[in-house]
Structure 1
Amino acid sequence: MIRVVVADESSLVRTTLSALLATEDDISTVGEVDTCEGLVDAAAAWRPDLVLLDLDLVDATHAHAGRLAEALHRQDPPVRLLLLTTLGRPTSVLPVLSAKAGSMLLKNTAPRQMIEAIRRTAAGEQVLCAELETTADRLRNSPLNEAETAVLDRMACGGGIADAAAQLGFSQSVVQRHLLSALRKVGGRDAVDGGRKARANGWV
Structure 2
Amino acid sequence: PSSDNRRHSIRERMSSTNEKGSLSMESTKETRYCAVCNDYASGYHYGVWSCEGCKAFFKRSIQGHNDYMCPATNQCTIDKNRRKSCQACRLRKCYEVGMMKGGIRKDRRGGRMMKQKRQREEQDSRNGEASSAELRAPTLWTSPLVVKHNKKNSPALSLTAEQMVSALLEAEPPIVYSEYDPNRPFNEASMMTLLTNLADRELVHMINWAKRVPG
TM-score, length basis structure 2? 0.17
Question: Which structure has greater strand proportion?
Answer: 1
The structure with higher relative contact order (CA 8 Å, sep 6+) is: 1
TM-score, length basis structure 1? 0.18
Q: Larger radius of gyration, structure 1 or 2?
A: 2
